């Protein structure tokens, strides 16, 4: 979903912790027609959030909203949990974007909240090309009807059936853009070391990855089939692919990368847990 579907919301929205990630979601929603006067943002600094939304430095005077988006860092959650709990009433749908913090821990911290949903967005939501993975405590079918209208303008919306895989989904989709940026940088860096001009290498590596990504979005082929279509037997591309594939080194590197990110998610969840 990359078109400008309308961001639809019944009721008001409070974003508790409106930094980089929640701010990116908010910007896209506003761009897609969400009315700013339905939204209040809380930032510790009180610095203005996207658009003309009311931004406060604390929750004084606020009452339970229809939708409460929880966008603080997982490590910061214990400090604000009691305050968030006061705002999460029986008619409040809470959406936590905090990495690693389980539905069970959220429910323990927010016992009176109506429904609790975990969402894992990634930064490309800012231009509608992101992914939002979602899981709810219950009533997934009803909630998905309601939430898909809000989430669709952000990009691909995926409901996850087992929470055990949520940290892995986070590693793939939430952390994944950073891994791709690192790979692009490594390819450009390698080209520079082998003799290309740094600026030209940077420009071409970015354009190449953007073009390859868009081609992949338009294709029904698997990535393996797409790679095979570019590589003629005995040709240049095949010579490079043989290096990536040798001893399964790229596959092993990616498995180690996702495993490390998933493990860190588990550690962050432990640090977000209330004692
Ligand atoms: N960044 C990503 O790509 C990404 C992807 C998926 C999920 N997430 C999740 O999104 C959450 C936020 O990450 P981020 O990268 O957006 O971090 P961030 O930019 O630091 O945002 C955290 C926000 O929380 C606010 N905050 C901190 N302490 C507060 C307090 N005591 N009271 C009120 N507001 C408080 C901060 O206020 P100030 O703005 O004043 O500092 C800031 O707006 C994390 O839980 C992370 O796991 C991030």
Q: What is the pLDDT of residues 18-50, one digit of tens each?
A: 999 999 999 999 999 999 999 999 999 999 999
Distance 8 CA to ligand 1 centre (A): 24
Q: Report CA(230)–ligand 1 centroid distance (Å).
A: 41
* pLDDT of 1 higher than 70: no
DSSP alpha helix (H) spans, 152-248:
166-169, 176-193, 198-217, 223-230, 236-245
Q: How far apart (Å, rounded) are the C-alpha atoms in residues 241 and 237? A: 6
Does residue 211 share a domain with residue 252?
yes
The pLDDT, as a whole number, for residue 275 is: 62
Residue 227 lies in a domain: yes
pLDDT tens profile 85-104: 999 999 999 999 998 899 99
In terms of residues, how long is the chain? 275
What's the rounded mean pLDDT across residues 254-259? 98
User: Which pLDDT belongs to residue 4?
Assistant: 63
Query: Is 1 inside a domain boundary?
Result: no
- Say yes or no: 225 and 158 in one domain: no
One domain, residues 151 and 225: no
In a domain, 6, yes or no: no
- For the Cβ of 100 lying below 6 angstroms from any atom of ligand 1, the answer is no
254 lines ligand 1 (CB under 6 A): no
CA distance readout (Å), 24 to 15, 17, 30, 90, 214? 12, 12, 10, 28, 21
Taking CA atoms, 163 is separated from 137, 172, 173, 178, in Å, by: 9, 15, 15, 23
The total domain count for the chain is: 2
Q: Ligand 1: which of 20, 40, 47, 268 to mutate, most ligand atoms within 8 Å of CB? A: 20
Domain boundary among 100, 135, 166: 166
Residue 245 lies inside a defined structural domain of this protein: yes
Q: Which of 106, 136, 166 is the last residue of a domain?
A: 166
Q: What is the pTM of this model?
A: 0.88
Ligand 1 neighbour 119 (Cβ under 6 A): no
Q: How confident is the model at residue 261 (pLDDT cuts 50, 70, 90)?
A: very high
Residue 7, class by beta-carbon neighbours within 10 Å (0-12 exposed, 13-18 middle, 19+ buried)?
Answer: buried
Q: Please indicate, yes or no, whether residues 127 and 188 belong to a single structural domain of this protein.
A: no
Domain that holds residue 152: 13-166
């Amino acid at each position: 979903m990359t078109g400008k579907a309308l961001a639809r919301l019944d009721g008001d929205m409070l974003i508790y912790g409106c930094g980089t990630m929640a701010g990116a979601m908010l910007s896209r929603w506003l761009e897609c027609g969400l009315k700013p006067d339905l939204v209040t943002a809380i930032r510790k600094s009180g610095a203005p959030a996207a658009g003309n939304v009311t931004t406060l430095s604390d929750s004084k005077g606020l009452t339970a909203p229809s939708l409460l988006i929880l966008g603080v860092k997982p490590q910061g959650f214990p400090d604000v949990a009691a305050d968030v709990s006061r705002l999460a009433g029986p008619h409040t749908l809470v959406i936590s974007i905090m990495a690693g913090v389980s539905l069970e821990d959220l429910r323990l911290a927010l016992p009176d909240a109506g429904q609790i949903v975990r969402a894992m967005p990634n930064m490309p939501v800012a231009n509608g090309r992101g992914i939002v993975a979602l899981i709810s405590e219950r009533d997934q079918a009803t909630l998905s009807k309601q939430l898909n209208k809000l989430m669709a303008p952000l990009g691909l919306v995926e409901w996850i059936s087992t929470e055990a895989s949520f940290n892995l989904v986070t590693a793939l989709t939430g952390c994944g853009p950073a891994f791709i940026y690192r790979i692009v940088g490594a390819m450009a860096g390698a080209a520079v070391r082998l003799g290309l001009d740094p600026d030209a290498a940077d420009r071409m590596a970015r354009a190449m990855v953007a073009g390859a990504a868009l081609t992949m979005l338009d294709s029904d082929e698997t990535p393996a089939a797409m790679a095979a279509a570019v590589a003629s037997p005995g040709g240049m591309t095949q010579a490079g692919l043989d290096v990536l594939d040798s001893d399964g080194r790229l596959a092993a590197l990616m498995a180690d990368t996702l495993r490390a990110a998933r493990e860190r998610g588990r550690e962050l969840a432990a640090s977000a847990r209330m004692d």
